[in-house]
Structures are given as C-alpha cells and as structure tokens.
Amino acid sequence: MPSSQVAVLAGLGSWLPPRVVGNEEIAQRLDTSDEWIRSRTGIAERRVVDPGTSTVDLAVEAGRRALTSAGETEADAVVLATSTADQLCPASAPQVATKLGLNGVAAFDVNAVCSGFVYGLATGAGLIAAGVARRVLVIGADAFTSLVDPEDRGTVPIFGDGAGAVLLRAGDPDELGALGPFDLHSEGELAELLWVEAGGAKNRRSDDPRDHYLVMQGQTVFRHACARMAESARAVVGAAGWAVGDIDRFIGHQANIRILQTCAKQLGLAEDVMYSNIEKVGNTSAASIPIALADAAKEGALQPGHRVVMGAFGAGLTWGSTLLRWPDVIPG
Ligand code: COA
C-alpha cells in the first residue's frame, strides 16, 4: 500500500435509545428545575437506555448505519471508543464486530472518555496509514448513565446515552473527507476532577456506593474544557495551514452549551459556526461528536466541501481535535 494512504470518512450513522427523559421528569425526583438545567447547560432532554440495553447494543445499531451509509458490508477493523464497556474485561469491540457479522476482524476498545471518538479516529487513521486495514469502523458509544449516581443533581441532568459511528476507508489526502492532522493531549494529574473512583484494579469494591459513581468538579472541568478545546482547535487548524476564520463548522463535544459558546468566543468564531444538538441529547460522552456529525449532516448544517473541525474534551483529562473537508455522505 502506498505510504500516502490516509483515512477518508466514507459513511456515518448514529443511534439513540428510544426512552426520552425530559428535565421535568428529573425535577420530579431531584432538587432541580427545568429552568436551571436549560439555563446552565442548554439541555432539555436526553435519551436513557432501558434495563437490558447496553453499550454493545447501541454500538451495533450505530455501526450498522455507518456501514450502510458507506454502501459497505465489510470492514477490516472495529475501534470502539467507550468508557462504559459491557464488562470491565474484556473489551466490547469484539462483541460488536461479531454482532455486525464482521467475524475475525481486529477489534478493540479505546478509552479516552468524552474524547474517545477523536482518539478512535486517530487510531483508525493510524491503522490505515500503517497498511494494517483498508476500512475501519470507528464507533463512539456510551451508556454513560450507568455511571451516574441517580441521587446526584450535579450529574444526572447532564448525561445521556447513545452511539455514533463512521466508516473510514483508505484514500487520498486531497479527497473530500480526508482526515487529519490530529492534535491529542492528556493531563493525568487532574484525573480526580471527573472520575469513578472504585471498580477498577486499584479499588475493586468500595463500601461507599457513591465511589462506584461518577464524581465531578463541575466548575473546574468547565474552565479546562473551554480553554483546552479552543487551544487544540487552534493547533490543529494551524497544522493544516488553515486560519481559524476558515472554519465553516465546529463540531465540538456536547458537554454544555455554555462551554461551546465560551470556546467560540475564545476562538473568535461566530456562534453559528458551533453546531449544537445538546438540547435533545445531553452529554453522550464518546458518542457525542459522531451523533452531532450525523444530526448536523441530516439538518444540512454540513455541506460537501465545508471545512469542519471536531473538538473533544473529557475525563482523564483528555482532549484533542481533528479536521476534514466534509464529504458527500448521507448519514444513516
Ligand atoms: N439544579 C439546581 N441547582 C443546582 C444543580 C441542579 N441540577 N446543580 C448544582 N446546583 C447549584 C449548586 O449547588 C450551586 O448552589 P450554591 O450557589 O447554593 O452553592 C449553584 O447551583 C451553582 O452551582 P455551580 O456548580 O457553580 O453551577 P455551574 O454554573 O458551574 O453549572 C455545571 C454546573 C455542572 C452545569 C457546569 O459546571 C458544567 O457544565 N461543568 C462542566 C461539566 C462537564 O462538561 N462535564 C463533562 C466534561 S466531558
């Protein structure tokens, strides 16, 4: 394979579980209100999995739609970005691949929490550039509400469940849809700002059930999210030889509408360049960006040739960006 092969976005799909949980339903059982949630986050409702539905189920639905969108039935590898794998061990990607009929292909999870999809794209692009695979299905899927303490008004309103996926194929750097460059970062010293303390190898079982749920220092996370997403967008745009003003559409991680607005201000971007679907889905973690891509494409907010930046931020801390000129894809 020629060394100039890059990853090209060839298919796109998303899937949301059917159960809608509106702000009023949350306000009936926690000390909060529709007004507070809307004004502080921009979220009106989110989707939540029913018992028995898992991350693998969400990922399979989105993955199938991305394959159909690309007109493909095969892929050489499945990269699943998630921090809510069905089991602590093994990874969920092999189960997703099998359920999609992709028997025997390379399949593994990438865990960079809410930045996972951009990390997954970089991984998929790397497999293609190295000649390991010609078609990589990159899925971002999270049943993130499984990590949320049902009694915590600080996190319950924010998170939702869902999945989105793209099929990457080997192609030419000049094509519409060619991905890259990438800008990826982490800061492990700040892990405690947003984490689930127990359940892993360090503290398998805690007597305090709250240790098994997500704990978040919201305001500090907010500040880091704005600054890091803006910084990374500048870096990736510079590496591509674009100017910030060239960006037609910024598809950022949907964590909070005010984070996207602040990020736009920091970048000097018009607010309408920032796409947002957070009102309907909340923060779906690794699924956030591909669901936003699919919604934006369906609404006509992404047009072939548009210069698009994807910007992510998440627990870890992790953050990163990539970009592409939008291809002619019809999302499934
Ligand atoms: N309903 C009503 N009041 C609430 C509330 C809720 N759901 N959650 C918190 N409050 C209260 C707080 O207790 C506080 O009360 P006090 O002033 O009496 O102490 C007040 O509202 C303000 O809290 P604060 O935390 O300062 O609000 P905020 O404007 O920072 O908004 C978040 C809180 C969580 C929405 C915001 O910090 C945020 O979005 N942070 C980033 C989170 C994120 O993106 N995480 C994922 C990253 S991938």
In this structure, is residue 331 part of a structural domain?
no
Assess whether 259 and 144 both reside in one domain. no
In this structure, is residue 274 part of a structural domain?
yes
Tens-binned pLDDT, residue by residue, of the chain (332 aa): 445 699 999 999 999 999 999 999 999 999 999 999 999 999 999 999 999 999 999 999 999 999 999 999 999 999 999 999 999 999 999 999 999 999 999 999 999 999 999 999 999 999 999 999 999 999 999 999 999 999 999 999 999 999 999 999 999 999 999 999 999 999 999 999 999 999 999 999 999 999 999 999 999 999 999 999 999 999 999 999 999 999 999 999 999 999 999 999 999 999 899 999 999 999 999 999 999 999 999 999 999 999 999 999 999 999 999 999 999 999 99
Q: Tokens 């189960």: give the residue.
A: 95
Assess whether 115 and 209 both reside in one domain. no
Q: Ligand 1 center to residue 275 CA distance, Å?
A: 23
Partner residues linked to 311 by β-bridges: 252, 321
Assess whether 124 and 45 both reside in one domain. yes
Q: Ligand 1 center to residue 261 CA distance, Å?
A: 17
Regarding beta strands 77-81 and 135-142, do their DSSP bridges make them parallel or antiparallel, or are they unpaired?
parallel
- Using DSSP's 3-state secondary structure scheme, residue 25 falls into helix
Q: Is the CB of 242 under 6 A from ligand 1?
A: no
Nearest CA to ligand 1 atom 38: 218
185 is catalytic: no
Assess whether 99 and 193 both reside in one domain. no
Query: Annotated catalytic residue: which of 114, 226, 256, 277?
Result: 114
In this structure, is residue 120 part of a structural domain?
yes
In this structure, is residue 11 part of a structural domain?
yes
Q: Is the CB of 217 under 6 A from ligand 1?
A: no
Q: Ligand 1 center to residue 221 CA distance, Å?
A: 11
Query: Whole-model pTM above 0.95?
Result: yes
Assess whether 221 and 292 both reside in one domain. yes
In this structure, is residue 137 part of a structural domain?
yes
Q: What CATH number is associated with residue 238?
A: 3.40.47.10
In this structure, is residue 176 part of a structural domain?
no
Assess whether 189 and 314 both reside in one domain. yes
Number of domains in the chain: 2
pLDDT at 271: 85
Q: Ligand 1 center to residue 118 CA distance, Å?
A: 26
226 is catalytic: no
CA atoms lying within 13 Å on the CB side of residue 177: 20
Closest C-alpha to 165, from 124, 137, 126: 137
Assess whether 72 and 157 both reside in one domain. yes
CB 157 within 8 A of CB 34: no
Helices 288-299 & 116-129 angle (0-180, nearest 10): 90
Nearest CA to ligand 1 atom 39: 256
CB 136 within 8 A of CB 6: no
Give the distance from CA 274 to its chain's centroid: 16
pLDDT at 241: 97
Residues 182, 323: Cα–Cα separation, whole Å: 7
Final residue in a domain of this structure, among 104, 139, 171: 171
Burial (0-12, 13-18, 19+ Cβ within 10 Å), 125: buried
In this structure, is residue 177 part of a structural domain?
no
pLDDT at 213: 98
In this structure, is residue 188 part of a structural domain?
yes
Assess whether 106 and 156 both reside in one domain. yes
pLDDT at 3: 52
Assess whether 245 and 128 both reside in one domain. no
Q: Is the CB of 313 under 6 A from ligand 1?
A: yes
Could you tell me the residue range of the domain that residue 148 belongs to?
6-171
- Which H or E run includes 172? none
pLDDT at 309: 98
Assess whether 67 and 99 both reside in one domain. yes
Q: Ligand 1 center to residue 15 CA distance, Å?
A: 28
114 is catalytic: yes
Assess whether 73 and 209 both reside in one domain. no
Q: Is the CB of 40 under 6 A from ligand 1?
A: yes
Residues 325, 332: Cα–Cα separation, whole Å: 20
Residues 189, 171: Cα–Cα separation, whole Å: 38
Assess whether 208 and 117 both reside in one domain. no
Query: Annotated catalytic residue: which of 23, 226, 253, 256?
Result: 253
